[in-house]
Structure 1
Amino acid sequence: MSDTQILRTVLDRWKAAVDAHEPERVASCFTEDAIFQGLHPYTVGRAGVAAYYASQPLGLTAGYDIRETRRLADDLVLGYLDVRFGFTDRPALRVHLGVIVRRVEDDWLIAHYQVSKLD
């Protein structure tokens, strides 16, 4: 599987869970010790990821475009993305997202997630 396909597999699961407003399902896309930096203070682990997405408004949607990929090791892929978070009551928020996905047994999970908002 190509690096882009690996990222799409993980990020499509993440997107589906975000769009469905299922915080625990979003968190299941991450490693147990994932470093997570959204637009609020960072957290480590799935519980923090779930809490972050539970606090998001109903109707939040995510869309993404992969801009760059790098294979860091056999079991690590870095991705740099443009992400659009849609809302029901305000304009979309556009951010940049850096992720590192790690192979864990037969699956790929997000081990590092960092959002940057550049105006």
Structure 2
Amino acid sequence: MSDLKSVLDAWQRGIARHEPAEVAALFTEDAIFQGLHPYVVGPAGVAAYYDSQPLGMTVDYRILHEKRLAGGVTVGWIEADFHFTDRDPVELNLTVVLVGGLITHYQVSRRV
């Protein structure tokens, strides 16, 4: 299993269990995180972001492409579908950069 899949599986589980601290632990101390709200830097901001999400939210993802770069850096291009108990799913494109098995950059955009 690739580092990217391992990290995304843990991210998916943490979201489904509504465990913001568990999700935040997957990010580096200086991680740039840009969800659908203004960006934050670091795990505390990531935890606050996921803590604000509704209970029952889950995510399904598909890795479209994974590229390993020098120095243990991995870039992943992903489709992520966030599901809610009371509304339609939100379909997003997600780009993540891993360093040392942790997310250092996370950016989503709406899928068209």
Fold agreement, TM-score > 0.5: yes
Two-structure CA RMSD over aligned residues (Å): 0.9
- CA offsets 1:36-84 (integer angstroms, 9 cap, x no match): 0000000000000000000000000011000011112231000000000
1:7 aligns to 2:4 (yes or no): yes
Spell out the pairing of 1:35-114 with structure 2 (5 A cutoff). 35-103=32-100, 108-114=101-107
Correspondence for 2:17 among 2, 20, 28: 20
- State the identity %: 53
Q: Distance in 1 between matches of 2:86 and 2:111?
A: 22
Q: Distance in 1 between matches of 2:27 and 2:12?
A: 13
> Normalising by the residue count of structure 2, what TM-score does the alignment of the two structures yield?
0.96
In the alignment, structure 1 segments of 5+ residues that lack a partner are: none
- CA offsets 1:17-37 (integer angstroms, 9 cap, x no match): 010000011100111110000
Q: Distance in 2 between matches of 1:15 and 1:67?
A: 16
Q: Distance in 1 between matches of 2:70 and 2:109?
A: 24
In the alignment, structure 2 segments of 5+ residues that lack a partner are: none
SS class of match (1:74)? helix
Amino acid at match of 1:112: H
